[in-house]
Amino acid sequence: MLSAIHALPEIFVKLRDQIHAGSNPLLMCTLYYICYDHGLPRSAMALSK
């Protein structure tokens, strides 16, 4: 469990890089949906910058 939590920042960096590259629009839409669905719009906004 802890190792998964420690891996999260690395995963988000990779996702953010893909979003910046525009190579994964479906992933971006899914990420926004998950963040807003769980009441985390700030996280979605931070990742989109």
One digit per residue, the tens of pLDDT, for the chain of length 49 reads: 566 666 777 878 887 777 777 666 777 777 777 766 666 556 555 655 5
Q: How far apart are CA 43 and CA 16, in angstroms?
A: 11
What is the span of the domain harbouring residue 37?
Answer: 2-48
Query: Exposed, middle or buried: residue 31 (CB in 10 Å: 0-12, 13-18, 19+)?
Result: buried
Structural domain tally of the chain? Answer: 1
Query: Which tokens hold the place of 30?
Result: 């899914």
Q: Angle CA(14)–CA(18)–CA(39) in degrees, nearest 5? A: 75
